[in-house]
Chain A
Amino acid sequence: GQQVMQIPQYQHVQEGEDFTTYCNSSTTLSNIQWYKQRPGGHPVFLIQLVKSGEVKKQKRLTFQFGEAKKNSSLHITATQTTDVGTYFCAGHLLRGGSQGNLIFGKGTKLSVKP
Chain B
Amino acid sequence: KAGVTQTPRYLIKTRGQQVTLSCSPISGHRSVSWYQQTPGQGLQFLFEYFSETQRNKGNFPGRFSGRQFSNSRSEMNVSTLELGDSALYLCASSSTTGGTAEAFFGQGTRLTVV
A-side residues, CB < 8 A to B, are 1, 30-31, 33, 35, 41-45, 48, 50, 88, 90, 92, 96-107
Complex CA gap A106/B41 in Å reads 7
Residues of chain B contacted by A96 (CB below 8 angstroms): 99
Contact A43 B56 (CB under 8 A): no
Contact A101 B102 (CB under 8 A): no
Residues of chain A contacted by B107 (CB below 8 angstroms): 41-42
Q: Give 14 CB contacts A-B under 8 Å.
A: A31-B99, A31-B100, A33-B102, A41-B107, A42-B90, A43-B43, A43-B90, A90-B43, A97-B98, A99-B97, A100-B57, A101-B56, A106-B41, A107-B42
Q: Which of A35, A43, A98, A106 contacts B55 (CB 8 A)?
A: A98
Nearest chain B CB to A103's CB is how many angstroms away? 7
In B70-114, the 8 Å CB interface with A consists of 90, 92, 94, 97-108
Q: Which of B41, B42, B59, B101 contacts A99 (CB 8 A)?
A: B101
Nearest chain A CB to B53's CB is how many angstroms away? 11
Complex CA gap A96/B106 in Å reads 23
Contact A88 B101 (CB under 8 A): no
Contact B106 A42 (CB under 8 A): yes
Contact B33 A45 (CB under 8 A): no
Q: Does B64 have its Cβ within 8 Å of any Cβ on chain A?
A: no
Contact B55 A100 (CB under 8 A): yes
Knowing that A97-B101, A99-B56 touch, tell me 15 more A-B residue pairs with CB under 8 angstroms: A33-B102, A35-B103, A42-B90, A42-B107, A43-B43, A43-B92, A90-B103, A97-B97, A99-B94, A100-B55, A100-B56, A104-B35, A104-B44, A105-B42, A107-B43
* Nearest chain A residue, comparing its CB with the CB of B59: A1
* Nearest chain B residue, comparing its CB with the CB of A103: B45
Residues of chain A contacted by B98 (CB below 8 angstroms): 97
* Nearest chain A residue, comparing its CB with the CB of B58: A100
